[in-house]
Amino acid sequence: MANANVVFEPGSDEVTRCAIRVLSEHGLHSIRSFDLRSAMEAWPDCECPHHGSAKCTCQYVVLLVYGSRNTPVTVVVHTNSGRIDFRIMHDSTAMSDLTLAERIKVALDEVSLSLHSASRASAKVASDVG
């Protein structure tokens, strides 16, 4: 019997949807204010600065995340070669809502654990087959 592999590498849209869903479960509202994939539709042959490949496969999404106040905290989701980077951006000119930032961090930690658990489950399937 041939070996079979199941590789879990979440797509950028999956990561962003998961982040928005978990943020919502934590009582936070998210608005996608920028999406690199959508912006790049006008330039389908744009070279990737991270890979040097003819077509960029990275994703960069900017979310405005709101709690109970009208001032959002900016969250950046960057996926590149299977690596997922969440960043909570602090505006030094505005008073950041540190409680909101902490709630966002807790939610993003949950997203990270969910994606890691799914990845480990797939890796276990791959190692058990064969």
Residues 105-116: pLDDT tens digits?
Answer: 999 989 888 877
The pLDDT, as a whole number, for residue 47 is: 76
Q: Given this model, what pLDDT does residue 119 score?
A: 61
CA pair distance 10, 12, nearest whole angstrom: 6
What is the pLDDT, as a whole number, of residue 1?
A: 35
pLDDT higher than 70, residue 8: no
Report, in angstroms and rounded to the nearest whole number, the Rg of the chain calculated over CA atoms: 17
Between 85 and 29, whose confidence is greater? 29
Domain 12-121 is in which class?
alpha beta
Question: What is the pLDDT confidence band of residue 2, given thresholds at 50, 70 and 90?
Answer: very low
Residue 127, classified by CB atoms within 10 Å of its CB into exposed (0-12), middle (13-18) or buried (19+), is exposed
Query: What number is the average pLDDT over the span 37-65?
Result: 79
pTM: 0.74
Task: Determine the average pLDDT of the residues in 74-82.
Answer: 83
Domain boundaries along the sequence of the chain = 12-121
Which residues is 78 bridged to in the sheet?
A: 60, 85
- pLDDT, position 77: 87
Between CA 31 and CA 35 the distance in angstroms is 11
83-89, strands of its sheet edge to edge: 29-35, 59-66, 73-80, 83-89
